[in-house]
Structure 1
Amino acid sequence: MLKVSDLPPLTRRSQTSAWRKLGLRAGLALALLATAFALLWFDRAGLKDNLDGAISFADTLYFTMITVTTVGYGDIVPVTERARLIDAFLLTPIRLFIWLIFLGTAFELLFKRVWERWRMTQIQRELGGHVVIAGFGKNGSSTAEHLLAEGLDPAALVVIDCSAEACEKATALGAAVIQGDASRDELLEAVRIESASRLIVSAGRDDTGILIVLSARKLSPRLDIAIAIRNHDNEDIAENAGASRVVNPVTVTAQLLSAS
């Protein structure tokens, strides 16, 4: 019997917006600051103000902010053993957590986006004569593995799929990956469909696949496009949409079985 730890993780795409995440992190940072202030206010007798000798509410608030964000200026210092232990074992972890929140937020909202844009620009510059696979399900992934086994350079393979799991699988093969709807012009332009050598459409649905063919043919009139069609009645529609080759897995399987 399988244990829970042996099963793959059950995940769901986060529905939280970037601004909501930012608000949650800001709230957490404020909560940590409030906790630090409460600790210092509770033990304010262990602090010493070198200017006037008295610790007021404003002095405690000031010392909280200075202690959490910097190493302090020396105007207010802990003088008792308990105050120093509170600073060492309680305030220091709060200080580290707040800095991690700030750094993580800055990385996600600024550096990560800049890096992703720069990286995408570099990948786009290298694309030319590449193979684009729209749809990385069972047929799409098998096609990619077959192409790589025949000697296709993974750097010359680009995958478009709406599924994050499929994108991760394609990334593991070394392909360039973009997550989204392959029928959208901006995604096809992002993978430089006009300079691709081939487009392989395996969307899983005939209507979606035909729409992808129409979008790609509009952007690249001479592109070699192959599409997998499930319904025999849609083969002519796919050809009229601009597909160079139409493959029906059911028909191919029947031919192989009859030939065997």
Structure 2
Amino acid sequence: MDPRRARVLLPSPKIGPLRSVLYRLGFAAALLLAVVFAVYFDRDGYKDSAGGPLSLLDCFYYSTVTISTTGYGDIAPVSPSARLVNTIFITPVRVLFLIVLVGTTLEVLAERTRQDWRLSRWRTRVRDHIVVVGYGTKGRSAIKTLLAGGVERDAIVVVDPDPRVVAEAAEAGFAGVVGDATRNSVLRQAAVHRAREVVVATPRDDTAVLVTLSARHLNATAGIQASARESENLQLLRQSGADHVVTSSEAAGRLLGVSATQPHVSEVIEDLIEQGTGLDLAERAIRPEEAGEPIRAVPEPVLAVVRDGRTLPYDDEQCARLRAGDRLVVVKSRHNDAHDSHGFHGSRDDDETVEPQER
């Protein structure tokens, strides 16, 4: 495949060969029974060269030789109604039956047409989605966290130059684009210009910089979250248009250092990072009743307050009173969620908790 061209793969259900054969046999049997019913219902309109009225067996015989185009001619429609049924019903059924018989070739053509139609429909409908560039360890972990945070699978598009990797992503239920994400044409195939977020999880920092530049060029408002292996490239990625940059190698090193001196703190940090486990970090807007209240009035533990685009630690003097428009970074746990569901801390708007930060 030309590396300059992109190919889009959409998730599709897998049907085993035995199931496919049984499906075809069932469809063919249904067509045969439909013709038998039509002939038997109007059996007086047919003439048998052997003489006598048509029995149910005769109707099966006539239907079989007719839809298989064998046509011995020993039984023929003679009444106007029987000929009309043969014209407007049995003939189209014969064509469908032939399609089933030669279905291997036609199935390929039909599948290609269906895929083209699904792809065209997907391109017109996809918007406000999340594009994940790179389906390696970092990309898979990012997607796992997104799913745990409530993002639907059909709202995620994977971009990777390896066709096998993208095929694996499609099997997992994600739309995928095969191609070099440093090229604008490939990112357009992933509809980056209509995306809400772009996650850059490439294995190389120079590739991450080029992808970030291209994504920012195509979409000036989307949030771009990038990963860098080395901290010296952090500023370069930010200058390229990334909103947030995670230094993967140094983050792992810091976590290792914490594990060596404070193993329990390390366990809590890992728990906070992994969504859907014991403890989770969540960002939410303050509720109307919390405006003007001290930070301790919030039922969940608050780690930081986001105000006017700045992230303030919970003990900053500016956080003494919450203001309308503030956003809170809080710690949630399954235990607290269970208490909330029983009314211990009042009602909780889950949609508000996972609402993305406005830009």
What TM-score, normalized to structure 1?
A: 0.56
RMSD between aligned residues: 2.7
In structure 2, what is the Cα distance between the partners aligned to 1:116 and 1:183?
26
SS of aligned partner of 2:135: coil
Instruction: Report the CA distance between 1:189 and its aligned residue.
Output: 1.4
Counterpart residue number, 2:133: 134
Counterpart residue number, 2:161: 162
Listed as ranges, the matches of 1:203-218 within 5 Å are 203-218=202-217
In structure 2, what is the Cα distance between the partners aligned to 1:155 and 1:133?
13
1:117-168: CA deviation from partner (whole Å, max 9, x where unpaired)? 2211211233121111001011101111121122211011110111122112
In structure 1, what is the Cα distance between the partners aligned to 2:114 and 2:177?
15
Counterpart residue number, 2:174: 175
For 1:180, give the aligned amino acid: G
SS of aligned partner of 1:187: helix
- 1:201 matched to 2:200? The reply is yes
For 2:250, give the aligned amino acid: T
Alpha-carbon contact 2:159-2:177 (below 8 Å) kept: yes
Alpha-carbon contact 1:141-1:170 (below 8 Å) kept: no
For 1:206, give the aligned amino acid: D
Listed as ranges, the matches of 1:218-233 within 5 Å are 218-233=217-232
For 2:141, give the aligned amino acid: S
Listed as ranges, the matches of 1:20-35 within 5 Å are none
Aligned residues: 166
- 1:252 matched to 2:282? The reply is no
Instruction: Report the CA distance between 1:111 and its aligned residue.
Output: 4.5
1:107–1:181 distance in 2 versus 1, CA, 3 Å: farther
For 1:209, give the aligned amino acid: A
Name the one with the larger strand percent: 2
In structure 1, what is the Cα distance between the partners aligned to 2:206 and 2:107?
40
Alpha-carbon contact 1:128-1:195 (below 8 Å) kept: yes
Alpha-carbon contact 2:230-2:250 (below 8 Å) kept: no
For 1:215, give the aligned amino acid: S
Name the one with the larger helix percent: 1
In structure 2, what is the Cα distance between the partners aligned to 1:111 and 1:187?
26
1:63-120: CA deviation from partner (whole Å, max 9, x where unpaired)? xxxxxxxx99xxxxxxxxxxxxxxxxxxxxxxxxxx97x964x765x55543332211
In structure 1, what is the Cα distance between the partners aligned to 2:162 and 2:107?
25
Listed as ranges, the matches of 1:181-192 within 5 Å are 181-192=180-191
For 1:133, give the aligned amino acid: V
The percentage of counterpart residues that share the same residue type is 30
For 1:247, give the aligned amino acid: V
In structure 2, what is the Cα distance between the partners aligned to 1:164 and 1:191?
15
In structure 1, what is the Cα distance between the partners aligned to 2:238 and 2:112?
40
Counterpart residue number, 1:118: 117
For 1:231, give the aligned amino acid: E
In structure 1, what is the Cα distance between the partners aligned to 2:243 and 2:137?
22
Counterpart residue number, 2:335: none
Larger Rg: 2
